[in-house]
Amino acid sequence: MKVIIGYSLTNWLHSFTMYFIFFQVFAKIISADHEVFLQVWRPHPYHVRTYTLIDETYFHPTELRFQEVPLERHTYIQIQKKDILGLYFPKKNPIAWSQVPCSSLEQQYLYVENPPDIQVGQTITFSEPKDPNQGCRHYSFTAILGEYRNIHSHDEFTNENG
């Protein structure tokens, strides 16, 4: 079990309210043990590497391929500047990833190994990689963000890739 966080939404958000509306992912392995929760974490204002889980959505891949996963309108996740995307693998990771060089230490992922039963609203302190030269992880994953506009469907969003 592992929770990995590491992509700040600061550079992608503007002054208006944005929502996480669907995601794209490449599943490299499928089984009953390969599942993932996409999570949105908000940094604690006073504690380093400490974040509160704002919301999450579950995904269990059933095919070995690139997949688009739309969220139901009532499950769109509202996001703010400085929020962080996270991936939680309760058992095993189904998402392809590769190690790449980091341009700065701030880009390294943070993690929690064998986390407690995580609930929305819970605050957790994350760890840095043991080896600072370990690099960054590039996951085959894209979050699609949209601006709220009296939503009835995905088509009524102004899409922003993040």
- Which stretch of 3-7, 26-30, 138-142 has the lowest confidence by average pLDDT? 3-7
Q: How confident is the model at residue 121, as a pLDDT?
A: 94
pLDDT at 9: 56
pLDDT band at 13 (very low <50, low <70, confident <90, very high): low
Q: Are 95 and 140 in contact (CB under 8 A)?
A: yes
Q: Which residue has the higher pLDDT, 116 or 157?
A: 116
Q: Which domain holds residue 54?
A: 2-161
Amino acid making up residue 6: G
pLDDT tens figures, 44-83: 999 988 999 999 988 888 888 888 888 888 888 888 888 8
Total of domains in the chain? 1
Residue, of 51 and 28, whose pLDDT is higher: 51
Q: Which two tokens stand for residue 75?
A: 């499950």
Extended beta strands in 9-153, E state? 18-26, 36-43, 50-59, 66-70, 77-79, 84-89, 97-100, 110-113, 123-125, 136-139, 141-147
Mean pLDDT, residues 38-46 taken together: 90
- pLDDT for 157: 45
Residue 38, class by beta-carbon neighbours within 10 Å (0-12 exposed, 13-18 middle, 19+ buried)? buried
According to DSSP, residue 131 is labeled S
> Residues 36, 87: contact at Cβ < 8 Å?
yes
Question: 92-145 pLDDT, tens per residue?
Answer: 888 888 888 877 777 778 888 888 788 999 999 988 877 766 778 878 888 887
Whole-angstrom distance, CA of residue 5 vs CA of residue 51: 10
Model confidence, pTM:
0.79
